[in-house]
Amino acid sequence: MPELPEVETVARGLRARLLGRRIRAVRAHFPGVLTVGEGCAEPAGGWRVESIGRRGKLLLVELEGGCCLSVHLRMTGHLSIEEPSAPLLPHTHVTALLDDGTQLRFVDPRRFGRLHLGLREDVHGTAFLRTLGPEPFDLDARALAERLAARTAPLKSVLLDQKVVAGIGNIYADEILFAAGLHPRQPADRLLPREISVLVEAMHGVLRAAIDGGGSTIRDYRRIDGRAGGYQEAHAVFGRAGLPCRRCGTKLRRSELAGRGTHFCPVCQPLRRRRPRPRRRSGPGNETGRGGSS
């Protein structure tokens, strides 16, 4: 469920509740969901929470003493802070006791989510973090162009690749492509410079608006305090197949791409089937990129 805007919203909620607190004990109720690395024995009095960060869809809770708790919510993971008297929800797999008597709880019906407590350098050195692409807000058109250059795959597949850019999932890939007016199946390496600029602006704009809206709640996602997100109301295409496009009124379509449901407007996001590569054999270099009609 959670993509960058949802995880960012959770990180902000956690900061408000967890910064400066001490985590006294971390208990797993189901094997495998939580792993604990070397060198992270609990100090007397617990770990003080020093900062809470996010890389892509991964939460990073930095703890006193050089340890770090990473949390990946995957599809249905959810964090909340509860009074100890609050009933333990089904599928509560990890509980951490806080020094004010409350509990940080991790609930995840599908059990895809993962928590790892380890030395900071070990956590930051995991293959996942080492190979993770840049944050979307750190990318400009030139940097994105470089990352799309050698990719012949459909644009949506490339946006979903966390090594290309971190944090974009199925919802926001569709929303960003609509905002940019680009077809999900457009080969990534065939974008014109102008289209890449528009794509970067769309990426920044959609993600910023989604963070401001507290993320999208389709079914499971909740903020720390249990409230739903609000951005689903603003979705232009995701979950709106068969409904009229908000821009042109055409019936929105849904198809399958990269094994994921893909939503788009066939009129606002036309597919350029054959994209002429810029000719490179004629001597005078003139054309940089001209729009090719279908």
Partner DNA sequence: TCTAACCTGATC
Partner DNA sequence: GATCAGGTTAGA
Positions marked active-site: 2-3, 57, 260
| Helix H or strand E encompassing 5 | helix 4-18
Residues 223-262 that bind DNA (CB under 7 A): 258-261
Provide the minimum distance between the beta carbon of 48 and DNA in the complex, in angstroms, as a whole number. 28
Q: Identify which range of 8-16, 46-54, 71-79, 268-276 contacts DNA by CB under 7 A.
A: 71-79
Q: Between 4-18 and 193-212, two packed helices, what is the crossing angle to 10 degrees?
A: 40
By CB under 7 A, is residue 171 in contact with DNA?
A: yes
Tokens of 202: 């769309």
> Which residues partner with 270 through β-bridges?
none
| Amino acid in the structure at residue 142 | R
C-alpha pair distances (Å), 93 with each of 123, 124, 181: 21, 24, 42
97 binds DNA, rule: CB under 7 A: no
Residue 53 as a binder of DNA (CB under 7 A): the answer is: no
Instruction: Say if residues 154 and 184 touch (Cβ distance below 8 Å).
Output: yes
Residue 260 C-beta: closest distance to DNA, Å: 5
Q: Which C-beta is closer to DNA: that of 15 or that of 91?
A: 91
What is d(CA 185, CA 259) in angstroms, rounded to the nearest whole number? 13
Smallest gap from Cβ 159 to DNA, in A, equals 10
Q: At its nearest, how many Å lie between DNA and the CB of residue 185? A: 9
Q: Kindly write out the interface string for residues 117-136 of this chain, putting x where it contacts DNA by CB under 7 A and - elsewhere.
A: ----------xx--------
Cα-Cα-Cα-Cα torsion 66, 17, 128, 195, nearest 10 degrees, comes to -130
| Alpha carbon of residue 268 to chain centroid | 25
Asked if 75 touches DNA (CB under 7 A), the answer is yes
Rg (CA), the chain: 22
- Choose, by CB under 7 A, the member of 110, 194, 208, 273 that binds DNA: 110
Interacting stretch for DNA, rule CB under 7 A, among 50-58, 59-67, 95-103, 141-149? Answer: 50-58
Closest CA to 215 of 11, 60, 39: 11
Counting contacts by CB under 7 A, is residue 2 touching DNA? yes
- Which residues contact DNA by CB under 7 A? 1-3, 6, 56-58, 72, 74-75, 90-91, 109-112, 127-128, 151-154, 157, 160, 162, 169-171, 216-221, 258-261
